[in-house]
Amino acid sequence: MTTDLVIGMAGSGGDGIVSAGEALLSAAASEGYHAMMTKSFGSQIRGGESSCRVRLSTEPVLNPGGTLDVAVALNWDDFLKFGGELPVGGNTVVIYESKTGVLPDKLPLTGVVPAEVFPVPLQDLAKEFAGTEKAKNTVILGLLAGWFGVGSKGVLAGLKKRLAKKGPELFEANERAFQAALRYAAEHPLARPRSLRAPPKLTPKLLTDGNDMCAAAAIFAGCQFFSGYPITPSTEIMQFMSREIWKYGGALVQCEDEIAGIGAAVGASFAGKKAMTATSGPGMSLKAEMMGLATIAELPLGVVNVQRGGPSTGLPTKTEQADLFQAVFSAHGDVARPILAPTCVADSFGLTVEAFNMAEEYQTPVIILSDQEISQRKETCDPIDTAALRVVDRLAPGPAELEDYKRYRFTETGVSPISHPGMRGGNYLAAGIEHNEHGDPTANGVMHARMNSKRFDKLRPLQTRKDLFKTYGDPDAPFALVAWGSTAGVAREALALAQADGLKAKLLVPYLLFPVATAAWTSFFAGVQAGLIVEQSHQGQLYRLLRMYLDLPRGVASFARSGANPFQPKEIVAKLRRRLDNQRTDRDGQPHEE
């Protein structure tokens, strides 16, 4: 029996690989397992390769897992295209389509000898028992249920629900294929049984992805207007909004391009509505000027960037964490805007609400820096306790303030009351040109300097926020890890492995990336001798950003790599140990970058 199972599957577009993964995930969630599924595609508009990873466990799941326990290949060309995303090792059970003609001892896995190999006539079984080769994904589910004890009842219930609208005949055909696969697994048993242990108790869980969670949270926070342009991997946010925002008195506009998408949202915010737009890296490049407008006009705005591999079109279907510099620096003039990053599907809800609260409180655009893995992976989550969340609305002017309304009045906090069109006495000019307290255009250098100070000073409270950081492990440990976004879950598992190995270490997970909260960072690094900042970007962008604002301990280095090359917990531990054993420095005495 095992308590944790990582399954990776790959095939061509149309093979139903992702559908099989989703069916398996739903079955596991209904039976009380903790589960997570990531999916990955080629960048082709149609066709190409597709894959998914499903991790099932009796304990909470923090990341998609490392080396596969089970690998399923419908064809080897497609499977091999995913490289490090679907790593096969000496403990992996490999299942593949026997029609590929590859002999079990001639698998195209360089330097790897799997634990067990099963060539299976997937297409033949599907055609014989379901009457169509399209049912081979159902055959795969039957094999997984038979060999690894994964949710037979749940899978069949899910298939029945999914196929209900297509008539009972289709479900019955798929049920026959499923039962045939169960028999095949029984007739060809594993040499070493690996059934997944039943969960401690049957507690069905919420199953969703990061994009849907973000969109739902925006509506909860009071978002009444969404505008945007479809772009992978953020499009599902717009799709969710298009179904749901109308039910809560809101409106949505699918615009002609990315610039119009943010322009409409800025206009809605000026009109007094909480507004949001969503995009990915290329779209953020186009939205940069309008974000500057929202900054100088001091308008609240939620902006979601679901990061993908770049630059340019880059890797549109793969995850990366390389848009941090873009989020911080993509503006002309002196600009500061809050940047928040979720680490999993579950915390995408609370962090989106926090982003709206910041936008409203400080009258500024706020960037939610998600990534492809979080946005499109599905996770089991506990229901959200919305009663524990607060919702903030923008500061409105009172009657006395409207007698001689100064929209950009200098205040002690830097935040001045904001009116909206139709508010008696609240008329003002909102434009991209510098202005005085009333909003009148000005080219006066002294006034420009004061307004710059106003826009920066109002964000100062964020620099003392410690609640947007989580520390794991021994707070006094001399060895440290830092990870953000989807990499944080891998680092949490790495920390547990390091502690089990006797290493005194700790981990900091920042949810607020900018402004740099110096108090939280300084407190964490106090007494640290060595450590790693782990992130999926070629430059190690968070590491470099922190060095602009902090005097990092000499032994802290960057452990960074480009997207689509996921970290594994064991390699982070190994890298940390090497870092401790050999604290190298370059010729200038600066920390070595791994």
User: Which pLDDT tens digit goes with each residue over 313-362?
Assistant: 999 999 999 999 999 999 999 999 999 999 999 999 999 999 999 999 99
Q: Where in the chain is the domain with CATH 3.40.50.970?
A: 207-388
Chain centroid to CA 415: 31
Out of 39-43, 307-311, 583-587, least confident range: 583-587
Q: Does the domain spanning 4-187 belong to CATH 3.40.920.10? A: yes
| Nearest-angstrom CA–CA distance, 167 and 239 | 27
Q: Where in the chain is the domain with CATH 3.40.50.920?
A: 465-581
Q: What is the pLDDT of residue 198?
A: 86
The CATH label, of 3.90.1170.50, 2.40.30.130, 3.40.50.920, 3.40.190.10, for the domain at 465-581 is 3.40.50.920
Mean pLDDT of the chain: 93
In terms of Cβ atoms closer than 10 Å to its own Cβ (0-12, 13-18, 19+), residue 416 is: buried
The two beta strands, 512-514 and 339-340, are antiparallel
Q: Where in the chain is the domain with CATH 3.40.920.10?
A: 4-187
| Nearest-angstrom CA–CA distance, 218 and 224 | 9
CB count in 10 Å sphere of residue 564: 20
- Residue 586 reports pLDDT greater than 50: no
Mean pLDDT on 152-175: 82
- Residue 154 reports pLDDT greater than 90: no
Q: What is the pLDDT of residue 581?
A: 83
Q: 207-388 in CATH: which number?
A: 3.40.50.970
Q: What is the pLDDT of residue 171?
A: 87
Q: What is the pLDDT of residue 245?
A: 98
Q: What is the pLDDT of residue 591?
A: 47
Q: What values do phi and psi take at 465, rounded to 5?
A: -70, 125
> For residue range 353-378, what is the model confidence (pLDDT) as tens digits?
999 999 999 999 999 999 999 999 99
Percentage of residues in the chain having pLDDT higher than 70: 97
Q: What values do phi and psi take at 402, rounded to 5?
A: -80, -10
| Nearest-angstrom CA–CA distance, 237 and 370 | 12
558: DSSP letter: E
| Nearest-angstrom CA–CA distance, 9 and 64 | 13
Mean pLDDT on 519-535: 96
The two beta strands, 469-473 and 505-510, are antiparallel
Q: What is the pLDDT of residue 45?
A: 63
Number of helices and strands (H, E) in the chain?
Answer: 19, 20
Local confidence band at 231 (pLDDT 50, 70, 90 cut-offs):
very high
Out of 138-152, 154-168, 366-380, least confident range: 154-168
| Confidence (pTM) | 0.92
Mean pLDDT on 563-577: 94
> For residue range 425-475, what is the model confidence (pLDDT) as tens digits?
999 999 999 999 999 999 999 999 999 999 999 999 999 999 999 999 999
